[in-house]
Each structure stands twice: as C-alpha cells, then as structure tokens.
Structure 1
C-alpha cells in the first residue's frame, strides 16, 4: 500500500435477489455508476466508496481487489484486517467463505479460504527464493485463534467442550505499554498447511451460535474473529517478527 493510500478502505458489494425475493416481486433499488465506485439508492441518493461491486462480480474479483494485497503485506511485516459488515442475509458468510455447512466449487470460494491458501503459497515462495539465492531460509510459525462475540461475552470457538460458557468467560482483554491489544485465556492452534488452517476454521465456524430470523433461517447471532499470527524468524539475525492477519 503506498503512502498516498488510506490505511482503511471500504468496499460495497450488492448481492443479487434471492429466489424468495423474486417470487415476492421485490425489485432492486440500487444502481452502480459504470466505471466509478459509486452506488445510487433510489433516484437521488448517491454514495462513493473505495470499491463498489455490482451483482455480477465474482468471488475471485472480490478477493483480488480487496484482500490479496493485505495477505502479501502480512508477509512483509504488516498487520491486516478484513471486516465484513451487513445485516443478516446480506451475504457476509458467502463473501467471506465461512459457510462450511455446504460444499462449494472453486469459483465460489470466499475471501478467507483464498487468503489462507495464498498465505501458505507466499511462505513457500519466500522459502524457495532464499534457497535459490544460497541464503538461510526464514522460519515461519503460524498459529490460529477463533473467537465469537455473543451477548457481550467472548467465546473461544476452538474449545470444543466450552465448559466455561456455563459461567463467566475466562478470556480477558488487555492493553500493553505500546497500546496494542492482546488477549489472555485464548486457545491458539499451530497450523502448518492450508488444509490444517481450513480444518480449524471449519470446526470453529460450525460451533458458532445461530438462530432463525425472519430474513435468514440460520443467521449467525454473533460476531466472529478469526486470526492467523505469522512469526517469521531469519536465522542470521535471530529476529522474530510477529504479524497478525485478522478476518
């Protein structure tokens, strides 16, 4: 990301109508300005964002426009966060690719699985380049955390038994001397491959709190935070650089 670019960028994705909405004769109320990141609501209310994606934009384009550079940046030492926001039924789970209750083909894979695959591919590329240049390859250690925020309580989705939910949560939020936020009482799992990371993501996703709403029969009733912490150590300097990729 260049110095001229904002550290926070906002993208709007417009989902197509659902079958039920078509049957109910609902109509689209948004219009995307061709060639511009602008969407018009109704007849006269226009809004401009960093990116605007119409209903026909595919999953790969969304990922490459919004998230791919963040994954590459995390391998260069930058923290990154991808945050999906929207009302229930707006397509957050589909866009992020965390709906593991169904199998999807490769074209429909969302941001999170693509980011995980690119992360490990980037690690392999960096390691291979070091070997080709006769340099000691850096050592990478990847760990994952998966949290759920529900009813003002933090729940660890990696704790299968989840005994602590019967009482007060043992997870605590702290701030260090550098004003960085960190958690204690959270389970971290080491992952060494994209398959392993995706398996933990799937396990945590299926443990999330869901309930039926008028707009979504299996609505997630919480916020979920999946974090991959990347520790890169170069043998020459013995310097460890911890970086977080949060989704």
Structure 2
C-alpha cells in the first residue's frame, strides 16, 4: 500500500501543499485533479523527494518511499524535458534499465528484449532510431511511457500525461494503464482536465493545496466540491463540468 501522511510543502513562505493525507491500494488507478497551481506536480515531486517538504512522509509497503526509488517510475510533464537533447527513442527507453544495469553496465539480450517489448507495447518500435525532438507530442509521451514500462516498477507516477496528445495516444495510454492496474500496480496520474477519461479511474483526489475530496469520481466531482477547489476560477481553468449529469446519468 502507498500511504501519504501530512505531506506539506512551503516555497519561501508560500504554501505549496498543506497536510495532504491519502492511501492507495495495489491495483488502483488514481487521478489527481485541480486548478493550475493547485499543487498537483508538487505532490508527485514531494512524494519522491524532488522538492523539500516541511512535514509529513510517504511510505510504500510499510517502508519510506525514498528508500525504494527503484520501485518507482516517474514521468514528468513534457514541458520539463529537453526535447533538443540528441537522444533516440530506443536510448530513452533503455534509460529505464539503468538502475538494473548500473551506469557502466552493458545491455544484454534480455535488456534489449525488454526495451523492444515496451516500445512495441506503446506502438512506436518503428520509431526507435528517431531522435525524440523529431516526434509529435503524442509520440513523445509514448516514448516516456515506454521508458516507464522498462523499469518494471510497482508504483507509477504520471504528471499531465494527456496534455497535447492525440486521441490515438490517449487510447494507448489508457489501455496500458488498465493493463498495469490488472497487474496489481499502483498508478497516480495528475491532470488539470480529464473529461470523459474520469470514468476510467478507481479514485480521484481533488486538490487545491489541501485535499478537497477523495473518493470515486462520482463522489468527488460534485458542484459543491468543484466550487471549493476552483472558486472564482470555475470555468476558467477548464475543470470537467459537473459530472452528475454528463457522465453518471
């Protein structure tokens, strides 16, 4: 089980996260939603120790998560990646095996097979020798999903994976998420605009610095909770419309 306890982040006196608590069982796909600046990316980074926290902790399988980074695959937002870096699709996927090989390890036949399987699974094996900067947004997102698959992780964190992708890529991502969930993995996926994709989730965390609501999408995405999360920005930050009428009726 993943357990987040009283996690708080403060940036030079400005609250980034305030005492966030939740837990996730194996085999669950959990979405994190909220307005821009709500702390969704901060939450994922704080869980991994990529930003300093002022309180709280994160345990995975009853041990501190930061001591088990080898069990975690993290895919940041595309805007945080240097797409001009001269690296091929195959080499990016191979990076997911670095912890298993060591920095000076030589990939063997087994490693090459894992990389090929991952890239085939996301539908871009034919692009394996292309540089990542030459790809479309959807293809780039699939590259890093492929890298996450090569890590063979038990906990997968995705930050805004649906931003700027085409419908084909979105369908591929959701299919793989379903497969990973069936394998007993834990998936935590942030997004500022889910739309109909909400129906694929087991649970939803509605966040705006603090945790506004935690439950099924139907339980969380009510008009009252949306107003609490988005306030006067409701309609400007493009949250999913009130779901009682659009998805669940």
Greater relative contact order (CA < 8 Å, ≥ 6 in sequence):
2
Higher helix proportion: 2
Same fold by TM-score greater than 0.5: no
User: What's the TM-score once normalised by structure 1's chain length?
Assistant: 0.28
Quick check: which has more Rg, 1 or 2? Answer: 1
Q: TM-score, normalised by structure 2?
A: 0.28
